[in-house]
A and B are shown apart, each in its own frame.
Chain A
Amino acid sequence: MSAPTPANPSSPAHPTKVNVRVLRQDGPGQPAYWERHQVDYEENMNVISVLQKIAAQAQTVDGKKVAPVAWECGCLEEVCGSCTMVINGRVRQSCSALVDSLLAENATEIELRPMEKYPVIRDLVVDRSRLFHALKRLQAWVPVDTYGHLGPGPRINRPQQEEMYPLSKCMSCGCCMDACPQYQKIELQRRPGESDEQYQRRKEAAYEQGFVGAAPISQVVLFNSHPTGKSIADGRLDALTETGGIQVCGNAQNCVAVCPKDIPLTKSIARAGRAATLHSIKRFLEK
């Protein structure tokens, strides 16, 4: 009997160094610039471990001392969405982006950019508050206004569960919006002398006009099919047909192609589109 081959044999083809090109930005409204870094290759690296090395070195490939590249992460297992960035031209999570497969895509270097549709705070860290604002706009929750024990909720049968579960996997990472040709960046500059509250209000007013995006539309479908969530279904559909609502979608279907959770977003969009049309006719007749 021959010896079992190791699952992941180390191959001499593996590089010793990994080149990384990072699009940096020192702060909101500052110019963006590319910077080249190089780190030692290790087996089974992901982009987070590359970024850790880059931060520890704090120097470019030419030996120039620089401030560490800033990025965000949380769960390290693709469930929080905070580490999302544009890697080799495609938006995805850096914790689940493995260096070996990235090098298979492009052997010369790995390219890291911040998400394209959200304002950059610093380097690879972006402000995704618009996404959370959209969830608030659409009341993407189950309304239960008490801390008291209400007993068991209504039963959700198996077929319903199977429809709902995939939608509930959304981690609000923003990939689906970042790749959407109908979702445009909204970035405001803080005015001199503006208070936090004033700036926040101005930002929210701007978000109200923008497209809500695929993930929040899908959450409307989820909560409008929930037995308790349903109680405010009309309000969600009202919000979904206002400025920046579902009508902005142009069916490019990039959202579903990039969603790391394989959420059937275009199915949600079709379901929500039908519900929104029927709802607006109902509203018109009620007037």
Chain B
Amino acid sequence: MNGPNSSFFLRHEFLIRRLHSLSGLIPVGAYMVVHLLVNSTLINGAGAFQTNVHKIHALGKFLLPVEWAFIFLPIIFHAVVGVWIIRSGQSNHSQYRFTANWRYTLQRWTGVIAIVFIFTHVFHLHGWFHAQWWLENVAQPLGMAQFRPYNAASTLAQGMQNYGWPPFYLVGILACVYHFANGLWTMGITWGLWVSPAGQRRATLACAVVGLLLFGVGLTALVATQVTDPEEARGVEDRMYESEDGDR
């Protein structure tokens, strides 16, 4: 019963857990799919990628509020509640070795990996804060805040040249994609979309296909950062920039 003495979280447990479940797909999961798709266009060359990044940055002054409302805050909400959920459970996969129990445990581990990955990833390429003193005195000396939206491909390829980053991103992408795909499956049970055991088995297959496709997309983006030559990309970006200037 919703007693007066229980914490805010416990009193609104149902609503919060349903919102957490929803936020995994909308907007966090949907954002991740778009994000990986856009990044994978780097495989088509610096020009294609720059065009897509331009489209995103065409939001101009609206970009920051949109990012906060639809990306950062939902991820923070999902992550904070996610950690609370993880703490409320007690994994027992070593005792009960069923596949679904492994998936439950992995859903939690990959959630934790996702937090570490996302925070590091945003620091690495974006720098966390826009304040000049922070970028100049902290982020850049640490080799972070690498990405420049108007030199998208070249700065990204440059930032990914260190040997440590590709494996780090591989693990991060793998964890996030597993978490999303398996999350879709649990979500379908939570909301009662796949109900019967046979339906849940078919849904497992469908979610696995979604996961594999998405992992392919993510891997394409990662490979693209490795095969893109920063110098060459820089040339393409400069030419695009000049021709745009000429248009005006």
Contact = CB atoms under 8 A, between A and B. Distances in A.
Contact of A273 (B3, B191, B196): B191
A250 B200 CA distance: 15
Contacts of B96: 90, 179, 254, 257-258
B18 interface: yes
Contact of B98 (A184, A246, A250, A253): A253
Nearest to B91: A181
B189 A248 contact: no
B87 to A, nearest CB: 11
A84 to B, nearest CB: 15
A201 interface: no
A178 B31 CA distance: 38
Task: Tell me whether chain A's interface is mostly helix, strand or loop, or mixed.
Answer: helix
Given A182-B88, A247-B17, A273 B192 contact: yes
Contact of A243 (B6, B91, B104): B6
A242 B2 contact: yes
A224 B92 CA distance: 32
A251 B191 contact: no
Interface string B155-179: 0000000000000000000000000
A181 B104 contact: yes
A231 interface: no
A271 B199 CA distance: 13
Contacts, number: 114
Interface string A241-273: 111111111111110111000001011011101
A247 B14 contact: yes
A274 interface: yes
Given A251-B190, A273-B190, A267 B195 contact: yes
Interface in B16-58: 17-18
19 contacts: A184-B88, A243-B1, A243-B6, A248-B17, A250-B186, A251-B100, A251-B190, A252-B101, A252-B103, A252-B105, A254-B101, A257-B101, A258-B96, A269-B189, A271-B195, A273-B189, A273-B191, A277-B192, A280-B15
Interface of A: 89-90, 137, 179, 181-182, 184, 205, 208-209, 239, 241-254, 256-258, 264, 266-267, 269-271, 273-277, 280
Interface of B: 1-3, 6, 10-11, 13-15, 17-18, 85, 88-92, 95-96, 98, 100-101, 103-105, 107, 185-186, 188-197, 200
